[in-house]
């Protein structure tokens, strides 16, 4: 799992570590072995404040996609596509589990083209390890490897992992009104 440190201020106003540990919002998927997603931070509203109340209420987020003016910091590990191509893969169970564990994001997935989705967000994606394909309309793809960055501007897309090893990507999603 990913270690997350959060800074803030102590009672005297000095900078301090206020949290050191795992995010309270981590999802592993029994129906998609090797798929893991963690939301490391979330902001909502029209403005972002560095001193807002610490969002670790423990309550599961209503949506993994931010509303306009909000943000989400996510890290996702994508298993090889062979996991979904397996004879034992249950697409309906995967859909149900995604709807439960990653609401908002799972709602954006297209039923007739698994994995394809579009959200009203500006996303920065940084490949931390492995290699992954970004698929866009008309079958256009680009391979991204460790240290590659994509700026995803509310376009229809999917993430594919045709390799044999997992790929881990860090995403910053910022809610957009357009």
Rounded CA gap, 150 and 146, in Å?
12
In a domain, 15, yes or no: no
**Domain tally, the chain:** 1
pLDDT of residue 49: 65
Contact between 134 and 150 (Cβ < 8 Å): yes
10 in a structural domain = no
Q: Provide the domain limits for residue 93.
A: 23-175
Residue 11 lies in a domain: no
What pLDDT, on a 0 to 100 scale, did the predictor assign at position 152? 96
Predicted pLDDT of residue 44: 83
Q: Are strands 25-28 and 36-43 parallel, antiparallel or unpaired?
A: antiparallel
Dist. CA 111–CA 99, nearest whole Å: 12
Q: Would residue 72 count as lying in a domain?
A: yes
- Rounded distance between C-alpha atoms, residue 13 and residue 162, angstroms: 50
Q: Residue 98 sits in a domain of what CATH number? A: 2.60.120.10
Per-residue pLDDT of the chain (178 residues; tens, 9 = 90+): 788 998 988 899 999 998 899 888 999 999 999 999 999 998 887 666 666 655 655 677 789 999 999 999 999 999 999 999 999 999 999 999 999 999 999 999 998 998 999 999 999 999 999 999 999 999 999 999 999 999 999 999 999 999 999 999 999 999 998 7
């Amino acid at each position: 799992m990913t270690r997350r440190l959060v800074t803030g201020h102590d009672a005297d106003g000095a900078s301090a570590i206020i949290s050191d540990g795992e995010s309270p919002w981590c999802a592993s998927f029994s129906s998609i072995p090797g798929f893991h997603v963690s939301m490391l931070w979330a902001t909502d509203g029209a403005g972002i404040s560095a001193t807002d109340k610490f969002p670790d209420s423990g309550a599961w987020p209503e949506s993994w996609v931010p509303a306009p003016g909000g943000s989400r910091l996510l890290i996702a590990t994508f298993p090889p596509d062979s996991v979904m191509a397996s004879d034992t893969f249950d697409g309906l169970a995967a859909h149900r589990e995604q709807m439960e564990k990653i609401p908002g994001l799972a709602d954006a997935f297209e039923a007739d083209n698994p994995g394809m989705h579009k959200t009203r967000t500006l996303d920065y994606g940084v490949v931390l390890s492995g290699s992954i394909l970004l698929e866009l309309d008309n079958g256009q793809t680009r391979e991204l490897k460790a240290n590659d960055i994509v700026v995803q501007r509310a376009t229809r897309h999917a993430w594919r992992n045709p390799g044999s090893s997992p790929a881990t990507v860090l995403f910053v999603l910022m809610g957009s009104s357009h």
